[in-house]
Amino acid sequence: MTPVIVSIVVLVAMFVIATVLPVNLGALGFVAAALVGVLAAGMSLDDVLAEFPGDLFLILVGLTYLFAVAHHNGTVDLLVRWSMRLVRGHLVAAPWIFFTLSAVFSAIGALFAVAIVAPLAMPFARRYGVSLLLMGMMVIHGSLAGAFSPISVYGTFVAGVVGPTGIPFSSTTLFLAPLVINIVIAAVIFVVLGGRSLAGTKVAHGAPVGAGRPSSGGDGAPVTTEDTGSTDATGRTDEEDDDEQVRVGRPQVLTLIGILALAVGTVGFGLDVGVLSLAIAVTLGILCPAGHAEAAKGIAWSTVLLVCGVLTYVGVLQEAGTVDVVGQAIVALGVPLLAALLLCYLGGVLSAFASSAGILGVAIPLALPFLQQGAVSPIGMVAALAVASTVVDVSPFSTNGALVLASTPADVDRDAFYRRMLVYSGIVVATGPLLAWALLVLPGWL
């Protein structure tokens, strides 16, 4: 077999193995890169190792490290409480609060924003009778809405893949397209899944993260909690306890300043995301060392391994000529819009059962020769691939979907909830890539 065929067969085998067995796709990528590069593509091992994405490694480590610090020192909890106080406990706003929190956390570098927000949102939904499916999907779509900001992991990842090729690229479009599409999807499911029925119901400001009065309602039946505040044995009200809990300390102030500095430094002054986020995390460790060692354990090493391994293998694919061959085959279809639609569905269907980061790492490089032909807008196509490959993360087989399922309270019938998630994710897989293509590629306005 030719190096091109061998590399494609190995690529397919990698995804199959990583899907059915608990083997990290990135680890498979490193091994496959060495074997295919040396044995099939005629590369030396040094040539293979040269494909390692060092810049992206720093970004992944820096962003996940910084946000682990923010999560560990209570800054995340502080933002959640502030958010509920902002809407004065109105239950109808709760799904949108958790949507926004997930979006903000994702946009400022939290790779697994769902892992942070879902354990707060799902028990809250159960306790106050909000539809669990509504709440879970709002959390996921929130994380996807902010996933491609210029300082997020996904945003910097795609920019790093496309930018060096010279193909027209817009980080603003890449950020806004998923943001708008996921907001629209969230608005639709909010209406369809009963969000409007929550109007007029209020809960205590501190309810999302604090212990409180148990709900007597079932899933989907809102429970009214008067916002007057109850008193405990010490005579303190819920409101007074909440005021004490949201008091800002030195670590939280410094962390918020650090996150703001990251946004201003990278977006406003073009500073390196990875180096700056690491510098901020280390500075926080020096100024507020308590518990910092535990926060360092929050670096998403499994994701770092996955993304870097897949991209190292993609580098071998490029050296072997596989990317050019596949791109030419796509162009040979003769119908650019149809080829673009097929690429969107390829990314969407595969991402429903595998890592979106891994799929994006393969799908975008494979589409580059096709984009260089200029038959469709490169900016619109990259944004469409980003949306199509991530919007399907509502699947219970994906990381985000699995996190929501795992965060479901123990007294809920998880099998029934799992089936509801399957139905919803099936609809998204069938329509999401089509929606991305229809809005971002077909009109040709980008």
Between 45 and 301, whose confidence is greater? 45
Between 4 and 311, whose confidence is greater? 4
Q: Which two tokens stand for residue 111?
A: 């790779």
Give the bridge partners for 202, in sequence order: 90
Between 286 and 119, whose confidence is greater? 286
Domain coverage including residue 162:
53-299
- Is 293 a domain residue? yes
- Is 356 a domain residue? no
Residue 75 near residue 255 (C-beta atoms within 8 A): yes
Average pLDDT over residues 424-437: 92
Single out the residue of 260, 259, 249, 251 nearest to residue 288, CA to CA: 251
Average pLDDT over residues 413-420: 85
Q: Which two tokens stand for residue 233?
A: 């044995």
Determine the pLDDT at residue 146. 93
Determine the pLDDT at residue 166. 81
Average pLDDT over residues 307-312: 83
- Is 393 a domain residue? no
Give the bridge partners for 90, in sequence order: 202
Structural domain total, the chain: 1
Average pLDDT over residues 355-370: 78
Expressed in percent and rounded to 5, the helix, strand and coil fractions of the chain are 70, 0, 30
Average pLDDT over residues 433-444: 91
CA distance 262 to 271: 9
Give the bridge partners for 237, in sequence order: 231
CA distance 251 to 73: 7
Residue 367 near residue 169 (C-beta atoms within 8 A): no
Q: What is the pLDDT of residues 349-361, one digit of tens each?
A: 877 766 677 778 7
The pLDDT mean for the chain works out to: 81
Phi, psi (rounded to 5 degrees) for 56:
-70, -35
Q: Which two tokens stand for residue 106?
A: 């994702």
What ranges make up the beta strands (E) of 190-297? Answer: none
- Is 412 a domain residue? no
CA distance 106 to 112: 7
What are the helix and strand counts (H, E) for the chain? Answer: 22, 0
Q: How far is CA 433 from CA 237, 282, 386, 430, 436, in A?
A: 50, 40, 10, 7, 5
CA distance 120 to 87: 17
- Is 437 a domain residue? no
- Is 152 a domain residue? yes
Report the sign of the C-alpha dihedral through residues 390, 396, 401, 403, in that order: negative
Average pLDDT over residues 271-276: 84
Determine the pLDDT at residue 24. 86
Half-sphere exposure of 360 (CA within 13 A, CB side): 31
- Enclosing H/E stretch for 344: helix 336-351
Q: Which two tokens stand for residue 234?
A: 């010490």
- Neighbouring CB atoms inside 10 A of 171's CB total 18
Q: What is the pLDDT of residues 90-110, one digit of tens each?
A: 888 889 999 998 999 889 877
Determine the pLDDT at residue 220. 41
Average pLDDT over residues 389-394: 90
Angle between helices 153-162 and 54-72 (to 10 degrees): 170
- Is 241 a domain residue? yes
Between 362 and 186, whose confidence is greater? 186
CA distance 86 to 144: 23
Rg (CA), the chain: 23
- Is 226 a domain residue? yes
Q: What is the pLDDT of residues 211-269, one digit of tens each?
A: 333 343 334 434 444 443 434 434 444 444 444 455 688 899 999 999 888 878 876 78
Judged by average pLDDT, the poorest of 67-71, 300-304, 353-357, 378-382 is 353-357
Determine the pLDDT at residue 418. 83
Amino acid at 243: D
Judged by average pLDDT, the poorest of 21-30, 42-51, 367-376 is 367-376
Amino acid at 137: M
Single out the residue of 144, 130, 209, 100 nearest to residue 403, CA to CA: 144
